[in-house]
Structure 1
Amino acid sequence: MSQPHATKVLVIGYVWPEPRSSAAGGHMMQILESFLQQGWHVTFSSPAGSGEHRADLTALGIREIPIELNNSSFDTFISELAPDIVLFDRFMMEEQFGWRVEKHCPEALRVLETSDLQSLRDARQQRLKNRLKASEDGNDFSELFAPALREEFELMAETDLAQREIAAIYRCDLSLMISEVEIELLVEHFKLPRSLLHGCPLMVDLPTHAPVPFEDRAHFIHIGNFRHAPNWDAVLWLKTTIWPMIRQQLPAAQLHIYGAYTPPKATALHNAAQGFHVMNWAEDALQVMSAARVCMAPLRFGAGIKGKIVDAMLCGTPNVTTPIGAEGMHAAEPWPGAITRTARSFADSAVQLYQDKTQWLKAQAQGLELLASRYQPRIHGPALIARLEHCRQHLASIRRDNFTGSMLRHHQHKSTQYMAQWIEAKNRHKEDAPT
């Protein structure tokens, strides 16, 4: 009697996952773990170079195959692999490889992992730049946090990035969305069918041990990959405005800033006399988070949901953030710390949390409650698998109903295909040319 066919999944990564460097890397590993728990055969491919902190996927039983952009070798590779599901890690990978997947494996379910809406993040970054040009006030950024989703849509709608990103969502059979706010934006304002989207937040197991006590903790902490623009901006706001306000109230306070890929411009901000310590990369982010008393995430722009804040809740570390930092993370549930709109209120809230044990313990408990209600793998992992299986079973009707996606694939993939073939021919000509 023949064995049942094991589902084969190909993940095409924008980068090789680095779960200890970014929330996006952590989320990808959580998705891969959900696949492995089903006994699915997983292959991970990427055209990117190997990063310093990449995960060892082979140790988990995942096959690693590097691929190249604009190279027909991918066609042979995917034809031989014949995956049942292809997951594109961010829309740029769908742009590059989507037409090849459709041509050589038309029956494979095509899924997009958006990570966060890059076009939303970039539009918000532009709004911050405009605000900084218009005013030197470093305290009050309330207007950045006030726009309704309709205003966000109007900011994004005419940008090339939004048109590319949302076209990729249409071209896929299903897109994974990490934030419910972004789902609402896409459905209510960009008018995407809800049936093309699936909410898939960060998935973390609840801690099994008691958190480090209040008395055994010290210092403030900020953590985040320096290559991620919102994190670098947060460090600048801390340095120029928020941290001096905290030091006025707590002259001996220390802030420890950790992040992967620390650039010289960040290292240059280190000033031990001011208690401002740039610590580079943390080998164990949860360990340093557990040793700190308050996590600070002063994000003035961004999108998605924030891995550093989930890590803080896991470690029982209350946090202070902005409406951008808290977006999509708690709905109507109490926030495990404080959500603020100005540098002054941020500093005051951080100092109060640092000193007030009763308030600190209450925030800590709220963090654990939030993890239990919204981020458990035993809920979201099976939900993801069930949605993928449903899409595979109803693939023909899903594609028939998604006429806009079919139309976009017809036009976009033709132009992308011809451009890729032209680049490949040009590269081959260079290689064959006499030296």
Structure 2
Amino acid sequence: MFRVFRRNPERLPGKSVLIVDCNFPRPLHDSGSMDLDALIHSLLRQGCKVSFLALGEYFLPREQRDRNAREEYRAFGVTCLTPGDDVASPGWKGIEEALQQIGPKLDTCIPCRVSCGGAAYDRLRAAFPVARMIFYACDLHFLREERAARLAGDYTALKAVEVTRDNEFAIMRRADATLVVSSYEKNLLRQELPEALVVHLAFPRPSAEGDGWDARRDIGFIGNFGHRPNEDAVRYFLEHVWPDLAVRMPDCRFLIVGAGAPDWLTEWAEKDARLVVLGHVPDLAAVLNSLRITVAPLRYGAGTKGKVLSSLSHGVPCVMTSVAAEGFDFTPQLKELVVADLPQDVVDAIVALYTQASRWQMVVRHGRDLILQNHTPEKLDAAVAQLLRIDAAGR
């Protein structure tokens, strides 16, 4: 349940909102940006006056700043706080000046990620003493780091996880609310941090009606390689799943979509004509509407996986690991068809969906139903509207 917000007369009218992250979202490049972009547009639809502070811009030389993203959001009506084009790297001094421009009567402040907006939490609270503070955790960083460390058997990294967890929990205790993108992580925080108010936001994805089973071919993976779990997933798939799958489906290609493909992957593709590295694709729908299946063989990570959302919203079944399936309210029947962890089980699930039209069509229907029930702009707007009524404790 949400606490009802009692308007503080010291706040500016009109629901003024400041979002603080390292960089401007780039929704054509990564899933996290798509989520943040959806949040920004939901706030705008509800009449909020939205400002965005890109902390990283204040530490970059002029030529490396993301002017294109800045101008795009300004065109939508977002006030973009960045250094002037004639200013070098002003660092924290420039950030403090930007906060002063907004003034102390801000209604809502949304710092994003423990390592970005979260790192500036004390400065933001000092600058906006009466603002509602909503921490947008994105995925739980400590959970992702812990899983990576355990997978690698890296006990030094496990010690570092404790620092990340302590930092995330400290912000969550002080914030008026914490946003997460996964129902799994909301339930986890209920157990680990019962004193914090945690809200799950189910973000939408663009959807499209594509061709049927018989007009599609090949399987694909979607993911930006700047996100380390994606590189690990592709390498694992190529080493443990693809050899058997390539034999059982000799006419099938494996298409990999995402910016920043590592050199080893490009070299692998040069030796295997059925492995196609497409790199960044501006129009993801065009690729999804040609694929018969996508895969999400993630061995670690956190949050709700955008690659799964995008696939299902375009009517493409996705075979995924248990990690990739976290946070989705799959029916037992759907889970049995698309979730697999052992390499042989992954191969069997892909072959069954790829070769059986009736099974493929069943998963498409179930996937679309799930998207329509939980991941629509209307659902997001309703949740954000309640979020803006949460009482601010001023902690």
Same fold (TM over 0.5): yes
Distance in 1 separating the partners of 2:202 and 2:90: 30
Answer yes or no: is the 8 Å Cα contact 1:221–1:257 preserved in 2. Answer: yes
- The aligned runs of 1:355-366 (5 Å cut-off) are 355-366=355-366
Q: Provide closer, same or farther for how the CA distance between residues 279 and 288 of structure 1 changes in structure 2, counting only shifts above 3 A.
A: same
Partner of 1:103: 126
Q: Which runs of 5+ in 2 are unaligned?
A: 1-11, 58-64, 84-88
Partner of 2:77: 61
How far off is 1:193 after superposition?
A: 2.1
How far off is 1:252 after superposition?
A: 2.2
Stretch of structure 1 that moved more, 342-351 or 260-269: 260-269
Partner of 2:370: 370
Q: Provide closer, same or farther for how the CA distance between residues 271 and 243 of structure 1 changes in structure 2, counting only shifts above 3 A.
A: farther
Query: Which amino acid in structure 1 is aligned with residue 179 of structure 2?
Result: L
Pick one of 93, 99, 111 that aligns with 2:116: 93
Cα deviations across residues 282-333 of structure 1 (Å, max 9, x unaligned)? Answer: 1211220111000011011111001111111111101100100101112546
Query: Which amino acid in structure 1 is aligned with residue 173 of structure 2?
Result: Y
Partner of 2:98: 77
Is residue 183 from structure 1 mapped to residue 186 from structure 2 by the alignment? yes
Partner of 2:277: 278
How far off is 1:234 after superposition?
A: 0.8
Partner of 1:129: 152
How far off is 1:72 after superposition?
A: 2.9
Partner of 1:432: none
Stretch of structure 1 that moved more, 369-378 or 288-297: 369-378
Is residue 174 from structure 1 mapped to residue 177 from structure 2 by the alignment? yes
Is residue 115 from structure 1 mapped to residue 138 from structure 2 by the alignment? yes
Stretch of structure 1 that moved more, 254-263 or 58-67: 58-67
How far off is 1:192 after superposition?
A: 3.1
Query: Which amino acid in structure 2 is aligned with residue 204 of structure 1?
Result: R
Q: Provide closer, same or farther for how the CA distance between residues 368 and 52 of structure 1 changes in structure 2, counting only shifts above 3 A.
A: farther
Cα deviations across residues 333-375 of structure 1 (Å, max 9, x unaligned)? Answer: 6437510020111011111111110100001001101101211
Answer yes or no: is the 8 Å Cα contact 1:18–1:25 preserved in 2. Answer: yes
Q: Which runs of 5+ in 1 are unaligned?
A: 134-154, 400-405, 407-435
How far off is 1:218 after superposition?
A: 1.0
Answer yes or no: is the 8 Å Cα contact 2:112–2:118 preserved in 1. Answer: no
Stretch of structure 1 that moved more, 316-325 or 274-283: 274-283
Answer yes or no: is the 8 Å Cα contact 2:202–2:380 preserved in 1. Answer: yes
Answer yes or no: is the 8 Å Cα contact 2:138–2:181 preserved in 1. Answer: yes
How far off is 1:170 after superposition?
A: 1.6
3-state SS of paired residue (2:379): helix
Answer yes or no: is the 8 Å Cα contact 1:157–1:163 preserved in 2. Answer: no
Q: Provide closer, same or farther for how the CA distance between residues 305 and 167 of structure 1 changes in structure 2, counting only shifts above 3 A.
A: same
Answer yes or no: is the 8 Å Cα contact 1:79–1:105 preserved in 2. Answer: no
Query: Which amino acid in structure 1 is aligned with residue 200 of structure 2?
Result: G
- The aligned runs of 1:217-296 (5 Å cut-off) are 217-271=216-270, 273-296=272-295
How far off is 1:214 after superposition?
A: 1.1
3-state SS of paired residue (1:227): coil
How far off is 1:226 after superposition?
A: 0.2
Distance in 2 separating the partners of 1:309 and 1:48: 29
Answer yes or no: is the 8 Å Cα contact 1:289–1:312 preserved in 2. Answer: yes
Distance in 2 separating the partners of 1:169 and 1:235: 33
TM-score, normalised relative to structure 1: 0.79
Answer yes or no: is the 8 Å Cα contact 1:19–1:54 preserved in 2. Answer: no
TM-score, normalised relative to structure 2: 0.86
Q: Provide closer, same or farther for how the CA distance between residues 53 and 248 of structure 1 changes in structure 2, counting only shifts above 3 A.
A: farther
Query: Which amino acid in structure 2 is aligned with residue 220 of structure 1?
Result: I
Larger Rg: 1
Is residue 7 from structure 1 mapped to residue 6 from structure 2 by the alignment? no
Q: Provide closer, same or farther for how the CA distance between residues 277 and 51 of structure 1 changes in structure 2, counting only shifts above 3 A.
A: farther
Partner of 2:46: 38
Aligned length: 366
How far off is 1:20 after superposition?
A: 1.7
Stretch of structure 1 that moved more, 274-283 or 286-295: 274-283
Partner of 2:86: none
Percent identity between matched residues is 23
Pick one of 159, 176, 181 that aligns with 2:162: 159
Answer yes or no: is the 8 Å Cα contact 2:222–2:256 preserved in 1. Answer: yes
Distance in 2 separating the partners of 1:192 and 1:257: 41
How far off is 1:77 after superposition?
A: 2.2
Query: Which amino acid in structure 2 is aligned with residue 324 of structure 1?
Result: V
3-state SS of paired residue (2:277): strand
3-state SS of paired residue (2:221): strand
Cα deviations across residues 379-416 of structure 1 (Å, max 9, x unaligned)? Answer: 23222222222x2xx32xx45xxxxxx5xxxxxxxxxx
- The aligned runs of 1:395-406 (5 Å cut-off) are 395=392, 398-399=393-394, 406=395
Q: Provide closer, same or farther for how the CA distance between residues 376 and 61 of structure 1 changes in structure 2, counting only shifts above 3 A.
A: same
Cα deviations across residues 241-271 of structure 1 (Å, max 9, x unaligned)? Answer: 1111101101222000011222323322214
Distance in 2 separating the partners of 1:331 and 1:84: 37
